[in-house]
Every structure is written in structure tokens, then in C-alpha cells.
Amino acid sequence: MVAWRAAGLNYVRFSQIAAEITRKCAKAAPGKAAVKKPEATLKINLWENGKQQK
């Protein structure tokens, strides 16, 4: 038996609690800056006749 079922919760209530905790953890703590996601980079390599061009 899974722990949440043994604790008397149904799956919907268990997932609500887990989502709430996840949202709280994702928020920035007071006085601290939020962690920014790294910017995506794109690198394009041109190929001609089976060789990479510079």
C-alpha cells in the first residue's frame, strides 16, 4: 500500500498537497533573488560538401 493511501488520503488530495509544496518551494525566499533560468543559446554550423565551414 502506498504511503498516501495508508495516511487516509485519496490521490487527488495527495496531488493537491504535493503541488502546493512545489509552488512554495519554487517561489523566491524573502530577501533573496529568484533563481533565473539560463538563457537558451543556439549555435549554427554551416556544412558544405561534408565539411564544416568556419
Q: What is the pLDDT of residues 22-49, one digit of tens each?
A: 888 777 666 666 666 678 888 888 989 9
The model carries a pTM of 0.45
Query: CA angle at residue 33 from 22 to 28, to 5 degrees?
Result: 20
What is the pLDDT, as a whole number, of residue 16?
92
**Per-residue model confidence as pLDDT tens digits over 1-28:** 788 778 888 989 989 999 998 888 777 6
Instruction: Compute CA distances 22 → 1, 17, 19, 41, 45, whole Å.
Output: 24, 9, 5, 28, 39
Residue type, 36: K
**Which residue ranges make up each domain of the chain?**
3-52
